[in-house]
Structure 1
Amino acid sequence: MAATQLWLVRHGESVGNVAASQAAAAGTDVIRIGLRDADVELTSTGQAQAAALGAWLATLPAEAAPQAVWSSPYRRAVQTAEIAVAQGGARPNIRIDERLRDRELGVLDLLTTVGVHNLFPAEAQRRAWLGKFYYRPPGGESWADMALRVRSLLLDLERTDVPPRVLVVCHDAMILIFRYVCEGMREADLLACASSGSIRNASVTRLRRVEGQPWWSPEEVNADGHLAALGVPVTEHPGDRDAFPH
């Protein structure tokens, strides 16, 4: 066997999401959070979103539910996976994989868009020239770099010991890059997806690979009906993909 369905889930709302949105609204240069990106936790709303995700997954018949869970090592993603898995009966082990981590932002880490322009104007100009996909901040990664991580991980998902249906808990930019690689997108296609709207917290994007076809097909994108069904708030924290934690 090998993975033929990917359930891509963005982590629940995090304290970093809230701090970033507040900093952007206030027009400040720096996001005040006092934590490494890897240590940012879920808010109470994020925990409720993860529980709602798990409650929905628990209602799926065994022949349709995810059979394995892979997660980013970042705390907000692991919490989301742990809470969701705890709602179900089978409780598969959660595999932590560092290739699923959020984009590394280097010198731009914890800066708002205003902060990047004020503190690193040359970088703001370089980003505008190179574009979102290829721009790599000093000490950080470009989206193209993230694509290399996804391509590597997909090779592992081809292994015969991997079941067909895999739930992947990660970050909004990573979900976009999965779609870019799996669906055979070009740069312009990815940027169009990114500009059409952000990935909502605890939403589900499902991709299916059909035997004999070169690309995966999206069956569901950014779905959040499982949250609304339980009265859990749907949150959208787009931030700035070159500066904010996701």
Structure 2
Amino acid sequence: MTQAVREAGAVELILIRHGESLGNVAASEAQLAGVELIDVPARDADVILSPTGQEQALALGRALASFPAESRPDAVVSSPYVRARQTAEIAVETSGWQLAVRTDERLRDRELGILDMLTWQGVQQRFPEEAERRRWLGKFYYRPPGGESWADVALRLRSVLSELNSLGMGHRVMLVCHDAVILLFRYILEGMTEQEVLDVAAGTSVLNASITRYVRPEGAGPWTLESFNQADHLSEQGVEVTEHAGDASVRPR
């Protein structure tokens, strides 16, 4: 074995979006009603899974149980947000994997600052200057006061990926996180441009409890997308597949 291979890192990365949350449900209801404020039951970090989200996490766990022993992750790391942690813990327990779920704050959802709990209509009504700035800059670079841009999130994810290179050869890692985080992992891992990742975001909703897989058999070099946004494990078990997307107007004006 060469020195380069001995120093190689992870060979597989499994990205999971959390199951449907009460916040997802509240946001979708607010958008349909055309109201300004989303009636979320708790601060963003504390929002729990909906009953459907819990079913999705159980179905995910049953699907993970079917992974061959040699293909199972060596580590499971979750966003510290409750909805992601619940998804990870339910899925791992159901799968029968003997793994502890660790958390990493760098996997948290994008922070919205003063726009937290507002629909797009609410932003336009209450903060028209911010709405205009968002239209001008586009979703990738727009940072709401007190919040983060997508570029900010990408910076913290780059540090997560760099640590995967220090794990040692052969490791497989499962990360349980959020829709924007998964899209930005794609941006980084595939070397996308701003336009390319925004095109994906505009045309694709990352489904709740979906699975996205990247592989690199040698443990070094570029990652290859094996599957994206797969939710067959839900529909095959008769569990509802839910689609809760963010604002589709993502490109700069």
TM-score range, shorter chain: over 0.9
1:6 match: secondary structure: strand
Which residue of the partner structure matches residue 240 of structure 2? 233
Tell me the amino acid that sits aligned with residue 230 of structure 2.
Answer: A
> Number of residue pairs matched?
242
Q: Which residue of 2 aligns with 1:184?
A: 191
2:170–2:219: 8 Å Cα contact kept in structure 1? no
Displacement of 1:161 after TM fit? Answer: 5.0
1:33–1:160 distance in 2 versus 1, CA, 3 Å: closer
Change (3 A) 1:123 1:166: same
Residues 101-180 of structure 1: matches in 2 within 5 Å? 101-160=108-167, 164-180=171-187
Percent sequence identity over aligned pairs: 58
Write the mapping of 1:39-78 to structure 2, written as runs, cut at 5 A: 39-78=46-85
Separation of aligned partners in 2, 1:58 and 1:172? 24
Paired AA for residue 136 in structure 1: R
List runs of 5+ in structure 2 lacking aligned partners. Answer: 1-7
Return the match for 2:39 from 32, 47, 59. Answer: 32
3-state DSSP class of the match of 1:167? strand
Determine the C-alpha separation between the residues in 2 that align with 1:90 and 1:32. 36
Give secondary structure in 2 for the equivalent of 1:231.
coil
Equivalent position SS for 1:133 = coil
Indicate if the aligned counterparts of 2:165 and 2:220 stay in contact, CA closer than 8 A: no
1:10 aligns with 2:17: yes
1:49 and 1:13 map into 2 onto residues whose CA distance is: 8
Cα distance, 1:125 vs. partner? 0.5
Q: 1:97 aligns with which of 97, 100, 104?
A: 104
Give the 5 Å matches for 1:77-96.
77-96=84-103
Contact kept, 8 Å, 2:58 with 2:90, in 1: the verdict is yes
Determine the C-alpha separation between the residues in 1 that align with 2:192 and 2:153: 14
Q: Which runs of 5+ in 1 are unaligned?
A: none
Distance in structure 2 (CA, Å) of the matches to 1:102 and 1:76: 11
Query: Contact (CA 8 Å) 1:2, 1:157: kept in 2 or not?
Result: yes
SS of the residue corresponding to residue 69 of structure 2 reads: coil
**Partner AA of 1:21 in structure 2:** S
Task: State the AA in 1 paired with 2:141.
Answer: Y
Query: For the Cα contact (< 8 Å) 2:235–2:241, is it kept in 1?
Result: yes
The answer to whether the 8 A contact 1:21-1:239 is kept is no
Q: Which residue of 1 aligns with 2:227?
A: 220
Shift of 1:3: 1.4
Q: CA deviation at 1:163?
A: 5.3
Task: Determine if contact 2:20/2:49 at 8 Å carries over to the other structure.
Answer: yes
Displacement of 1:68 in angstroms is 1.2
Instruction: Give CA-to-partner distance per residue, 1:125-184, whole Å, 9 cap, x none.
Output: 001111110000000000000010110111111113585211110000000000101111
Is the partner of 1:29 in helix, strand or coil?
coil
Q: Is residue 184–residue 215 contact of structure 1 (8 Å, CA) maintained in 2?
A: no
Q: Quote the Cα distance in structure 1 between the aligned partners of 2:125 and 2:34.
A: 11
Distance in 1 (CA, whole Å) between partners of 2:103 and 2:14 is 16
The one of 198, 202, 220 aligned to 2:205: 198
Aligned Cα root-mean-square deviation (Å): 1.6
